[in-house]
Every structure is written in C-alpha cells, then in structure tokens.
Amino acid sequence: MIEVPGETIEENDIQIPKARELTEYLLSGVHPAASLLWASRDPESGAETVEFEVRVELAQNRKFPIQPIETIAVSFAPEDDVQPEVVSLREDFPIVPHLNLRPEELPRSLCLYDISYDAIKLRWTAATFIERVREWLSLTAEGRLHQDDQPQEPLILGPFSTLILPATFHEDSFGEPDKRKRYAVIALAPVDGTPTAFRLEREGSVHPQHLSHVVLAFAAVAGGHGAIRHTPTNLSELILLCEASGLDLRARLKEEVPHLRDDPKSRQLRVLLVTAFSKQREGGGSPSWETLGFELGCDVENLGERLGLWAVSPLGSLGALIGPQEETTQQVPVSTVRPVLELTKATAAQYNGIQSCDEPFVMIGVGALGSMLLSQLARKGFGLWTAIDGETMLPHNAARHLLPGNAAGFPKAETVRNVINTYYRDGAVVRSLAGSSLHPGTLKVEIDDAILKAAAIIDCSADVPSARGLCLDIVGTGRRISVFLSPNGESMVILAEDRNRAAMLDSLEMQYYRMLLNTPDLSDHFLGATARIRYGRSCRDLSAVLSGDAIAMFAAIGSRFIPQQLDREEGCIRVWKTNQEGSVRTYSCPVAASIRTAVSEETTIVWDAETLRKLRELRAQRLPSETGGEILGNWDQSRRILYIVDVIGAPADSEEDPTGFVRGTEGLREELESADRLTGGSAQYIGEWHSHPDGCSTRPSYLDQNLFRSMTERLSPHGLTPIMLIVGECDLRWIAGRKMEEAPWNFPS
C-alpha cells in the first residue's frame, strides 16, 4: 500500500471543514460500504488527507481489475480553493481511462468530475462524495465510464497555455511528403507583453520580427488510454515518455535541429515541439489524432548544445564536436501547451448543432437587421453568401449595426463581408456586391448571376419595390424570403415562398396584410411608429428610434428559423412580436394558393384561394338572395397589377333579394378606415363585388354596367383602375379597366 506523506492526526484535530465532515460521516457508520482508516496533515502545505476503504459493486465480467475493496485517499486544501485530489493507494491500481496525470506516476489520481470545482462545491456532501467514488470504480471496472462515442482520453491533462493550430495542420504536416507545409509561431500577447496563447502560421506569412518560436512537428502511433503516464518537466523526461508512445524524439531532434543552424534569426528563438499521436481505441474503431505541444526553455543554439550537436564559443559561433558527446537534456525545462484546432465553418456547424451547409445564398440589404442576421447565419456555418447593398455606413448606423463606429464612411456590403470573413481562416463565406438589386447599374450581370445561382434569396432591404423587383423581375429558381421589422420595431415578419415558388412574395405580402386585419393581437402592428432623429440636413436624413436589443433578438430568431424553413417544402407567413419585458409571441397563418388572372394585356389581378373560399361562403350564406360588398387591396401602377388583400361582406343596411343587391353604407367608412390603419395603407378600397343567384350567368347586367361606370367616374380622377367582381354558382368574373375588360374564372371541380 502506498503511504501518504504527512503526520497522523486525531478526529478532533482536523481543521478543514470538508475533511472534518467526511471523517465524521465515515465514523458514524451510516454508510455500510465505507469505513475510515486514518487522517493526516501535510506540515508544509497544511493540506489534510482522509484515507478510507470502500466496497465496490462489481459485475462478473470486468474490463479492468478493480478490487471489491479499494483503499482511497482524498486531500483537501486549507482554503478549499482547488479540487480535492482523490488517489488510489493500491500500488498495482490499473491504468484506466479518466486518470489525472501527475508529475509522479503513483499514486494514480482519479478524475471523478467533468465540471468545475466551484460547481461541485454547491452540492458537495460527504455522502454524495463517497457514492461518486464507488460509482466511478464500478463503471471503470466494466469499461463504461468512457463511452463509445466519447473522444479518446487526452494523453496529458493540465491548465496549460493554448497553442492554436491551423485546421489543416495534420494533413499539412504529416500528409504526403511533397504536400507538407512548414509553420512558424507567433505569440499572442496583450498590452503587458505576456503571451496568452501561441498561434501557428504558415512559414513565410509572418514577418521575422513577429516570430516567437521555431516549431518542430513530429508524428507517431500511440496505443489506447494512458500512453503517457505523467507530465514531463524537462526534455530528458519528454524523450523517455515519447519513446514509450512510439516516437523516437531524440533521433528526430538530432535530425531536424541542424537545419536551423545557418539561420541567425532562428538560432535565437525558443523551440516549440508539436507531437501528434495517432491513437487507436482498444477493440478497434477509427483512430484519432491526439496532438501535444511542449515549449522548451531554451533557444535553438542551446538546444543543439544540450543534444551534443555543437558547442557555442564565447563569441557566439557554433563549433562542431568530435566523438560521442554527453547529452544534458535534463537541463532543458519543458512546459506543456494545449493545442487546439482553429474553428472552421464545418466545426462551427457542429458546435451549433446543425448540418454544415455550403449552398449559395444571397442576402439583399445588410443594414441593422440584415447584418446581424447574416452574421448569425455565417457564424453557425450555414451557407456561402453574396451580400448585396449599395449603401454607405453612416455614424448613426453603428448604434444598431454589426459594424462598429469606425466603419462609418465605408460601403456596408464590403465591410460586413470583411468582418464576417474573419470568423474562419479556412476560406471566405461571404462575397459582396456594393450595389442595388433594384438599380444594379454596372453590377447587373454579377447581381443577376448571383441570384440565378442562389438556392434562396433573403431580402432584408425592408423595401417593397426591392421585394417586388426580386419577386417579379429577376430570373432565378431560388425561393425568396423577405425579412423585415414593423414600423415600431416591436415585431419581425418573415414571408417565405414555397420551394416551387407557387405563391410568390407579392402574393404572400397581401396575405400578410389580411392576417393583420384578422388578428386582434396585431392591431398595433402599424401603429405607434417610433420617433425619428435627424442625423443630417437633408429632408431624408432621419432615422427611426428602434431598440438594438430587439434587432439582435430578432436576428437570432431569424437565424434559427430560416434554415429550418428552407428544409420545408411549403411557404410561410409568420410574425414574432415582443414587448418591453422581452417576451415573444408568434403568429402565423396558412399560405393560400396564389392565383394570377390576366384581365387584359395591361392589367393582371393577383388574388388567392382564401379569397375565393370567403367569397363563395358569403354568397352561400345569403342564397337565394344576391349579396355583395367591398374589395380591399392596392395597385402596383408600374406593373399594372391589382392586388387583392381581402373582401368585406354586405353592410347591415344593404338590400338583398333574389333579383338584385344594393350595397348599404352603415359602418362602411369606419371599416375602410380601420383596414387602412391596420395595414399601413396597404388594404384600401379598390372596387366592389356581388353575387348572382344559382343558374344565372356572371356576365354583368345593365345595372352592373351602370355601377361600373359610377366606379370609373369615382376612381379615374385619381388615376386608379376600377374593378368589379361577380360571383356565380360555378364561376366568377373579374371586370376591370375603362373598357370593362372581362376575365371569367371557373371554380375548380
């Protein structure tokens, strides 16, 4: 049995609270499977150690020879500021997974927890500690403490400095000989000059004056768990440890160090060793790389001298040595560094719990919301992006933008690209076009090409003309998604086309307005527009007061939602609404099939299946009488498109009978004003509809023609196209234009 250094102490002499609690618990006899042996104190450090025996529940088939009774010691620090070390006092305790490596191999230190000691202290009791020791021993015996899907155990553990390796380090350093690359080391240091980490850079990419070390990289094949059993403190120990792991480090150093002799700059640099062990699990499975780093406490000149390669003269020249020379590698201190691979786009996706996506996408508009959204999507490894925005960053933008204040004066698209492309060093994820999709100018070919090749186009321009142009004027099969905020910044809207683009953005926009009309909780969607701040002298130099917190929150929501939506076949209309406390509610409505009806060569009506359903329902409710009402929508004069948002039923004072319908006016003005207010002016009065009885044609009667002429007289002075709709038993008929062009439409069978 291994003896623990220190002086034996009695129970009443124990001073450290946790040591006293554990001792009292063991003496109480409450736990039937644990008993106290004795306690001791280290006179130098003041640490107190409690030694005890535990009985272990063991299965018949054991992978590791854990005994039914094990002797354990746990040492508590006086200030309780470090995790108590738990060791086995058995000299032949096996090498198993989850052992902490120490300067000495024995006693073996048990790694009981994978969380910080600060977190452990919150729930630590003597009883839970004893049970954790027994559980650890039991699972270790069965080989279940280290799960099959868990990475290989690190060869060396400890609180070491960080060494950042390129993502392709193993391929570049240990791949095919003619494709291998050499690296240099730079120290990453804050203002005080003390390095906080080291980074490997391609040789030649760093100015010599910035180099901190010479790097030497070696590879070997290691065994399973525990190939290295304690941490080295000098080069001689490291050489012995590497030999046990399959790497002849002495021979490799004597082979590589002479190549650095003729470079005066390199000779004065310290040496950083990177050793990569290809590790194979016991029982098979895919091997993995376990990479270790060691900083040698000497420069190249001194290292060569310690290896017996040369002697350094008083004048600093290197002289060759004759005959065998004694090595003094034990005089070279070694510090362990912790290598970590740089983040790549693919590993970023893994950390975010998503599949890495390399499909091409376009982001139009990288203002406050667009820049934050693009940043989130790129940071999680989703997509390869083209950012399109022709605006320049202004000082006030930085209050809510991804970019900082010192980006003012630079093009938004290019600067956002530069920032996001620093997220990964394995390739750019964003390219930029500093132009407008609506008025591309000299960039038309490039913008059209990007949109043509995109799997999806995300429009964050918050500009209806831009969204319409993207939807109707630019060729490309990629589905369009529009993302924008309500005028007061308290809601975010996402309109997403289906995969086949059957219901396009312009139709979704009208259905979104209809959802606002029919969702009481969204009655303030276009109300309470925030104040504006003037940032310049021009009439248009005004910026809305919007919460940067809300924009960041909505960008995060959009970043999660958009990849999920792109996996679905159907489109969506969705609104997220927040309040002052920061809670969010979601509203959505089903996407209705879009219908586009050409009334003439100049005029097209865009409506949908939900409008058709409502019209037929209103007609059926009043049969055998005729009924009718108003049509709400808006005009796109530049494209001669009439958009239908919703239809209103007959006012209460209307006259309905089987031979005619006269629309009343009761409550009509209030209803039209409400629709205008709720939709920000996008659901206006654009015409009339009425029904014909069963068995009657939908052709306009003499009275219908008179009504249409009256509508024309009313709307023509405003330059607006009048519209009338007649709904029959089996079809309906659109009538529009000064010439009363007709477009019959048969109901689906």
Range with top average pLDDT, 166-170, 237-241, 583-587? 583-587
439 neighbors 375 (Cβ within 8 angstroms): no
Confidence of residue 501 (pLDDT cuts 50, 70, 90): very high
Please state, for a pLDDT cut of 90, what percent of the chain lies above it: 63
Name, in order, each residue with C-beta under 8 angstroms of 97's C-beta and a sequence gap of 6 or more. 140, 145, 146, 153, 225, 226
176 vs 654, higher pLDDT: 654
> How far is it, in rounded angstroms, from Cα 307 to Cα 311?
10
Lowest mean per-residue pLDDT among 181-195, 485-499, 623-637: 181-195
Give the pLDDT score at 354.
92
User: Residue for token digits 């969380």?
Assistant: 115
Confidence of residue 152 (pLDDT cuts 50, 70, 90): very low
User: Residue for token digits 């299946």?
Assistant: 609
Which tens digits make up the pLDDT trace of 91-109? 999 988 888 877 788 899 9
221 neighbors 281 (Cβ within 8 angstroms): no
What is the rounded average pLDDT of the residues 416-424?
Answer: 96
Would you say residue 211 has pLDDT above 90? Answer: no
Please state, for a pLDDT cut of 70, what percent of the chain lies above it: 93
Confidence of residue 154 (pLDDT cuts 50, 70, 90): very low
CATH topology of domain 7-142: Ubiquitin Conjugating Enzyme (3.10.110)
Name, in order, each residue with C-beta under 8 angstroms of 728's C-beta and a sequence gap of 6 or more. 691, 692, 696, 697, 698
What is the average pLDDT value for the chain, to the nearest integer? Answer: 89
Give the pLDDT score at 447.
94
478 neighbors 461 (Cβ within 8 angstroms): no
Confidence of residue 147 (pLDDT cuts 50, 70, 90): low
Give the pLDDT score at 160.
73
20 neighbors 78 (Cβ within 8 angstroms): no
Confidence of residue 231 (pLDDT cuts 50, 70, 90): confident
Which tens digits make up the pLDDT trace of 43-56? 999 999 999 999 99
User: Residue for token digits 């899907």?
Assistant: 149
Would you say residue 419 has pLDDT above 90? Answer: yes
Confidence of residue 529 (pLDDT cuts 50, 70, 90): low
Q: What is the SS3 string spanning 244-308?
A: HCCCCHHHHHHHHHHHHCCCHHHHCCEEEEEEEEEECCCCCCCCEEEEEEEEEEEEHHHHHHHCC
Give the pLDDT score at 489.
87
Domain assignments of the chain as residue spans, ordered by start: 7-142, 161-342, 347-589, 594-746
Question: How many CB atoms lie under 10 A from the CB of residue 638?
Answer: 9
Question: How many CB atoms lie under 10 A from the CB of residue 686?
Answer: 23
Nearest by Cα to 484 from 505, 454, 456, 453:
505
Which tens digits make up the pLDDT trace of 670-685? 999 999 999 999 999 9
Give the pLDDT score at 126.
96
Check if 7-142 and 594-746 are the same fold: no
Would you say residue 157 has pLDDT above 60? Answer: no
Which tens digits make up the pLDDT trace of 577-595? 998 888 999 999 999 999 9
DSSP H stretches of helix in 334-392: 345-351, 368-379
- CATH code: domain 347-589 is 3.40.50.720
Would you say residue 149 has pLDDT above 50? Answer: no
> How far is it, in rounded angstroms, from Cα 532 to Cα 529?
9
Which tens digits make up the pLDDT trace of 719-749? 787 899 999 999 999 999 878 889 999 998 7
DSSP 295-327: EEEEEHHHHHHHTTSEEE-TTS-EEE--S----
Confidence of residue 241 (pLDDT cuts 50, 70, 90): confident
Nearest by Cα to 42 from 24, 61, 23, 16:
16
CATH of 594-746, one of 3.40.140.10, 3.10.129.10, 1.10.560.10, 3.30.70.380: 3.40.140.10
Q: Which DSSP state fits 391? A: P
> How far is it, in rounded angstroms, from Cα 90 to Cα 96?
14
The first and second tokens of residue 36, run together, are: 């106290």
Question: How many CB atoms lie under 10 A from the CB of residue 85?
Answer: 18
58 neighbors 68 (Cβ within 8 angstroms): yes
Lowest mean per-residue pLDDT among 105-109, 464-468, 535-539, 621-625: 535-539
Which tens digits make up the pLDDT trace of 6-30? 999 999 999 999 999 999 999 999 9
Give the pLDDT score at 129.
97
Q: Which DSSP state fits 333? A: B
CA-angle at 632, arms to 629 and 637, nearest 5° = 135
Lowest mean per-residue pLDDT among 68-72, 124-128, 148-152, 378-382: 148-152
Would you say residue 622 has pLDDT above 70? Answer: yes
Give the pLDDT score at 155.
46
What is the rounded average pLDDT of the residues 409-413?
Answer: 95
Which tens digits make up the pLDDT trace of 250-261? 999 999 999 888
103 vs 357, higher pLDDT: 357
Give the pLDDT score at 151.
46
Give the pLDDT score at 544.
75
> How far is it, in rounded angstroms, from Cα 179 to Cα 287?
22
What is the rounded average pLDDT of the residues 113-125?
Answer: 92
